Amino acid sequence: MSFDYDHAHETFDASTDGTVGIEEEFALLDPATLGLVQRYEELRDAAAATDPVLAESLAGELISSEIEIRSGRGDDLAAAIAAQRDRRRRLFRLAHERGVALGATGTHPWADYREQRTIDTDHYRRVVDGLQWVAWRNVTFSLHVHVGVRGADRAVKTCDRLRPVLPLLLAISASSPYLDGRDSGLHTARTQIFTKMFPRCGVPDAFGSWRAFRDYLDFLVHTNSIVEYTQVWWSVRPHLAFGTVELRICDAQTTAGESEALAALIAACILQAARDVEEGVPFADPAPRLVEENLWRAIRHGLDGRLIDLERGEERPAAEAVERLLAWTAPVRAELGVDVALPELNGAQRQRRLIDAGASAEEVYAATVRETRETYAQEVAA
């Protein structure tokens, strides 16, 4: 097969800068035990029968114990957040009525991946057939943000400029210290078992042009490496169907406020990078091995660690990198009215404080589930 590149190019040419789409993934849980339950199809069918708005926004994500909600295309960040809030309320209400709790951390602390069933779709059958254990092992939950970027060349170059930013956004989002019933010692175990294991994943190369990116996809198709574009799982990528830059490196966020603040920051980063491309702001693509060094630091220590300032060649506290990121995006945030209100501690840091205080994995996860319930859908009964 081959992709319709002409149509994709036309989609980017017709795209509007600053449209936003938000995708949030949740774990489906037994309210009593907080273990994973395989009830995606049940919730999907119930939504189809009772709530067409919710049904339209639901999607499956590999395993039957996971569910995704999508805002759809918002004209701007505020519109996307408003739509996503409505979808969340509908999802949490439906889940409560069906006796299902929802979790929002990058991994489930003690779930056994061998007990999870994959959903039956053409796409995920191909994923499982092609990847086997790598796919079976992937019990993870994330946040994706799409931002409209006009022009195919500009979208590719925007992705290039976002490469060194990816580790910091990951550190900000980290929320998954637990895996397989034990403390992994990491801030984002999700990244280690998804981003570092899936093929065509993680920090991409710098392509420099639409032509180079198209040639890469052609190579994958002609060598029977992929049969559909969505098998390219890079942490940032031009999305051919939507005319967006999609950033997909972040862990799921425990609270609604964190999710919205992170979505706002991601949107600002994408739009600032796109503006820098248009204005010809000088930029030197860092070597992949240097970005990977920061990616590992984000995985291991998150915001509690130190990241390398690649321009100066020296390490600095991750918190300082956040300040520089906010300063870089200040022009576009001011113009578009994008507010970013990050919490003092992210999800992984809050969990690690509880771990250090002697809390069990069950107690730590229960605290995150309470935060999720109380902030994503406050009107749902406890």
Distance CA 46, CA 1 (A): 36
**Closest residue by Cα to residue 46 from 90, 84, 85:** 90
Tokens 């939950």 — which residue?
A: 141
Specify whether the CB–CB gap between 349 and 304 falls below 8 A: yes
Specify whether the CB–CB gap between 243 and 148 falls below 8 A: yes
- Does the domain at 5-376 match CATH 3.40.50.2300? Answer given as no
Q: What would the two tokens of residue 71 be?
A: 């805002």
Handedness of CA 358, 317, 324, 299 (dihedral sign): negative
Q: What would the two tokens of residue 87 be?
A: 């979808």
Name the helix (H) or strand (E) containing 142. Answer: strand 142-148
Where would I find the H helices in 280-346? Answer: 288-301, 318-336
Amino acid identity at 52? P
**Closest residue by Cα to residue 325 from 273, 275, 274, 285:** 273
Residue 298: the pLDDT is: 98
Residue 141: the pLDDT is: 98
Where would I find the H helices in the chain? Answer: 5-13, 40-50, 52-57, 77-97, 122-131, 133-136, 152-162, 166-173, 189-193, 210-222, 256-279, 288-301, 318-336, 347-356, 361-376
Q: What would the two tokens of residue 274 be?
A: 């796109």
Per-residue pLDDT of the chain (382 residues; tens, 9 = 90+): 567 888 999 999 999 999 999 999 999 999 999 999 999 999 999 999 999 999 999 999 999 999 999 999 999 999 999 999 999 999 999 999 999 999 999 999 999 999 999 999 998 999 999 999 999 999 999 999 999 999 999 999 999 999 999 999 999 999 999 999 999 999 999 999 999 999 999 999 999 999 999 999 999 999 999 998 889 999 999 999 999 999 999 999 999 999 999 999 999 999 999 999 999 999 989 999 999 999 999 999 999 999 999 999 999 999 999 999 999 999 999 988 888 999 999 999 999 999 999 999 999 999 999 999 999 986 554 4
| pTM of the predicted structure, to 2 decimals | 0.96
**Closest residue by Cα to residue 15 from 144, 153, 206:** 153
Centroid of chain to Cα 240: 18
Distance CA 298, CA 3 (A): 35
For residue 40, the tally of other CB atoms under 10 A from its CB is: 23
Residue 382: the pLDDT is: 41
Residue 336: the pLDDT is: 85
**Residues 279-288: b if buried by 16+ CB within 10 A, e if exposed:** eeeeeeebee
- Nearest 5 degrees, angle CA 259-CA 261-CA 264? 110
